[in-house]
Amino acid sequence: MTVSLVSGGCALTAGVLGIGKAQQTASTLAECADLAAGGAEVLLRSSSIGGELLASRSAGDTPGVPSGWFRLTTPIAVAAQSNDVFIADLASRRVLKFNRGTQRARVFTDVPDMTIDTRLYLDRALSLYVTEPRAGQVTQFDLDGRPVRTFGAQGETANPVATVVDDARGEILIADQLTARINVLNRNGGLVRVIGAGTQSDALRFTSITAMASAGDQLYVVDQLAGHVVALGMNGNFRYAFGEEELITPIAVAADGQSRVFVSDRADGSIKVFRGGQLQSVVGAPGDRSGIAFRGVSSLWASEDTLYVADAERGTVDIFEVQQPCR
């Protein structure tokens, strides 16, 4: 059964403030349900990026595509800010930079070791971090696509699958799939601490990690084998876990400034929206009345009331307007 609730009239507690799960009263849920029944939706489709893209330079060089064009075939990762959308395309093993204003794309950088698990992260200074599991490293690029630094924590990160930058602390958090830990590095690449080591000083232990996202002072970590998302402080302190009853095979995660967390679930092809640890909406599941459907969502990115969805199987990056939650 598809749930389509708008988080209206919610009596939210510390879950939204980053301490515990939100509490909702029966009357609150009924009010949200009434709003949803009236046609309100959490995600409204805005546009899509896919197919042949006009090149911003003299010519593209994709085989079989006319000069001056690029073909986006297998978008596996996305990150965006303002008009700039960065897309990792597995078929060409490139990261493309697409401008929503001019509707033109250019090659930002080539990634020869790109795999289906390559991921992107964009920090506040518009440095792009490319997580490369096969190469066992994370590479930071400047605005012009020049490599700035490579992070690997001297062998501590053998199979990186996700990166988050804590701008306030000047730290880079890299999730390693092989050890199911998060290695926290300084700007120079030195290892500062480890989250999820299961030691006496860090009792937290993950089963597996497939994705991470942050918003404010909260970090969200997808533990796929456990079938839930763990909410932590940026310092690694455990706050709460959620999604145990709603998620089956969580793949990707994004978070916005309204304390909402978007999680793609491969089991039913949906994106599930949580707020304060409580399920608010399910989008794209079979029978969704909105008509939204996904095939193979591998990456999510939230920015400025916009959700970007990289759907590798459909060959598109879908862009959605995220409706304001109720209070």
Is 252 within a domain?
yes
Q: Tell me the CATH number at 78.
A: 2.120.10.30
Mean predicted confidence (pLDDT) in 255-272: 94
Q: How are beta strands 43-55 and 104-110 bridged, if at all? A: parallel
**Which residue do the tokens 């080591």 mark?**
197
Least confident of 9-23, 52-66, 143-157, 263-277: 9-23
Does any domain span residue 251?
yes
How many structural domains does the chain have? Answer: 1
Asked whether the predicted pLDDT for residue 37 surpasses 50, the reply is no
Phi, psi of 149 (to 5 degrees): -160, 150
Tokens at residue 263, please? 């999680």
Average pLDDT over residues 246-275: 95
Q: What is the pTM of this model?
A: 0.85
Is 135 inside a domain boundary? Answer: yes
pLDDT of residue 52: 92
pLDDT of residue 325: 72
Domain contains 3: no
pLDDT for the residue numbered 286: 83
* Residue 154 is assigned to a structural domain of this protein: yes
The answer as to whether 246 is a domain residue is yes
Which structural domain, as residue segments, surrounds residue 164? 14-322
Both structure tokens of 69: 């064009």
CB count, 10 Å around CB of 215? 17
Residue 296 domain-assigned? yes
- Beta pairing, strands 181-186 & 75-81: unpaired
Task: Tell me whether residue 2 is in a domain.
Answer: no
For the cut 90, the answer to whether the pLDDT of residue 265 exceeds it is yes
H or E element at residue 14: helix 14-17
